[in-house]
């Protein structure tokens, strides 16, 4: 298993061979996981949110109703184009091509940061950098939501390992943890 963060070319190749490489649109597993992801947030409304790795916008579309402003980022233009099309009727979403943690939106503050199924694509030092940047941008009382696949994968980190690295580096307080059959959801608070 490589301990180097995945580069944009890796994801561009995935989307070139399949515009929905993880079956976000049609998988019952993904639908149930999205429901749990939104559910863990309760009925809270967020003024400014950041979704890292928005892909084709399936989760983005579900986050939009609970966010006044949502910045959704990904590193693949074709995925962003599909996300923009899916969410065209939702004016509170802004889409940008950004590679994390390098292209973190400097000077912005968020009260929700969503990292769903992205951490394990990063090597441990990049997860630590991402955690530091997320903490620096998190508003008082803000929340970070981590979603990680927990089965064996050929990525720089395993999902549980990636979550633990992020949590340790962030020094945020774990608020809730959901452990499901193939994933975990961690809700962290500042």
Complete domains list, the chain, with CATH: 8-189 (3.40.50.150)
Question: pLDDT by residue for the chain (190 residues), tens digit each?
Answer: 558 999 999 999 999 999 999 999 999 999 999 999 999 998 899 999 999 999 999 999 999 999 999 999 999 999 999 999 999 999 999 999 999 999 999 999 999 999 999 999 999 999 999 999 999 999 999 999 999 999 999 999 999 999 999 999 998 999 999 999 999 999 999 9
Contact yes or no for 120/156 (Cβ under 8 A): yes
Alpha helices in 18-75 (DSSP H): 28-39, 58-63
Collapsing DSSP states into helix, strand and coil, what is residue 67? strand
Residues 32-75: pLDDT tens digits? 999 999 999 988 999 999 999 999 999 999 999 999 999 999 99
pLDDT, residue 2, reads 56
The pTM score is: 0.96
Straight-line distance from the first to the last Cα atom of the chain, in angstroms, rounded to the nearest whole number? 33
> For the packed helices 159-170 and 124-137, what is the interaxial angle rounded to 10 degrees?
50
pLDDT, residue 3, reads 84
Contact yes or no for 51/73 (Cβ under 8 A): yes
pLDDT, residue 171, reads 86
């Amino acid at each position: 298993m490589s301990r180097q963060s995945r580069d944009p070319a890796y994801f561009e190749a995935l989307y070139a061979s399949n515009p929905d490489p993880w079956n976000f649109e049609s998988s019952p597993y993904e639908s149930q996981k999205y429901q749990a992801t939104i559910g863990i947030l309760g009925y809270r409304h967020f003024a400014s949110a950041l979704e890292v790795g928005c892909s084709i916008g399936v989760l983005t579309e579900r986050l939009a109703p609970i966010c006044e402003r949502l910045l959704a980022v990904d590193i693949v233009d074709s995925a962003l184009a599909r996300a923009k099309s899916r969410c065209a009727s939702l004016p509170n979403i802004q889409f940008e091509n950004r590679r994390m943690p390098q292209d973190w939106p400097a000077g912005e503050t968020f009260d929700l940061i969503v990292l769903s199924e992205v951490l394990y694509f990063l090597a441990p030092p990049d997860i630590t950098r991402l955690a530091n940047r997320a903490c620096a941008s998190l508003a008082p009382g803000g929340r970070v939501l981590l979603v990680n696949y927990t089965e064996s994968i050929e990525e720089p980190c395993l999902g549980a390992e990636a979550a633990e690295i992020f949590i340790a580096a962030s020094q945020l307080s774990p608020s809730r943890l959901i452990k499901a059959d193939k994933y975990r959801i961690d809700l962290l608070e500042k």
